[in-house]
Structure 1
Amino acid sequence: MTSPLLSLFLFVAIATVTPGGATTLATASGARFGFARSLPLMFGIAIGLGSLAAVAALGLGTLLLAMPALQTAVKALGSAYLLWLAWCIARRGPPDAGEGPARPVTVLNGILLLWLNPKSWAMTVGAAGSFALLAPTPGQLAMLLGAAFGLAACGSLALWCALGVLLRRLLRTAHHWRLLNLAMGVLLALSIIPIWR
Structure 2
Amino acid sequence: MTSILPLLLFVAVSTVTPGGATTLATASGARFGFVRSIPLMLGIAMGLAVLAAIAAFGLGGLLLALPSLQTAVKALGSAYLLWLAWRIARSGPPGAGNGPARPVTLANGFLLLWLNPKSWAMTVGAAASFALLASNPNRLAMLLGTAFGVAACASLAFWCALGVLLARFFRTPSHWRMLNLAMGVLLAASLIPTWR
Cα deviation 1:23-78 (Å, max 9, x = unaligned): 00000000000000000100010001100000000001100110011011001000
**1:38-49 alignment to 2 at 5 Å?**
38-49=37-48
Which residue matches 2:79? 80
| Separation of aligned partners in 2, 1:187 and 1:100 | 17
Whether the 8 Å contact between 2:87 and 2:99 is mirrored in structure 1 is: no
Q: TM-score when scaled to structure 1? A: 0.96
More displaced 10-residue stretch of structure 1: 79-88 or 115-124 = 115-124
**1:111-126 alignment to 2 at 5 Å?**
111-126=110-125
Question: Which contiguous aligned blocks of 4+ residues in structure 1 show a shift greater than 6 angstroms?
Answer: none
- Give unpaired runs (5+ residues) of structure 2: none
Amino acid at match of 1:137: N
More displaced 10-residue stretch of structure 1: 3-12 or 150-159 = 3-12
Q: TM-score when scaled to structure 2? A: 0.97
**1:1-197 alignment to 2 at 5 Å?**
4-99=3-98, 102-197=101-196
| Separation of aligned partners in 2, 1:62 and 1:77 | 20
Deviation at 1:4, TM superposition (A): 2.4
Would the alpha carbon gap of residues 114 and 107 (structure 1) be closer, same or farther in structure 2, given more than 3 Å must change? Answer: same
Cα deviation 1:132-168 (Å, max 9, x = unaligned): 1111110010000000000000000000000000011
| Separation of aligned partners in 2, 1:72 and 1:149 | 23
- Give unpaired runs (5+ residues) of structure 1: none
More displaced 10-residue stretch of structure 1: 60-69 or 99-108 = 99-108
Deviation at 1:96, TM superposition (A): 2.3
Q: CA RMSD in A?
A: 1.1
Would the alpha carbon gap of residues 68 and 137 (structure 1) be closer, same or farther in structure 2, given more than 3 Å must change? Answer: same
Deviation at 1:123, TM superposition (A): 0.7
Would the alpha carbon gap of residues 146 and 44 (structure 1) be closer, same or farther in structure 2, given more than 3 Å must change? Answer: same
Q: Percent identity?
A: 78
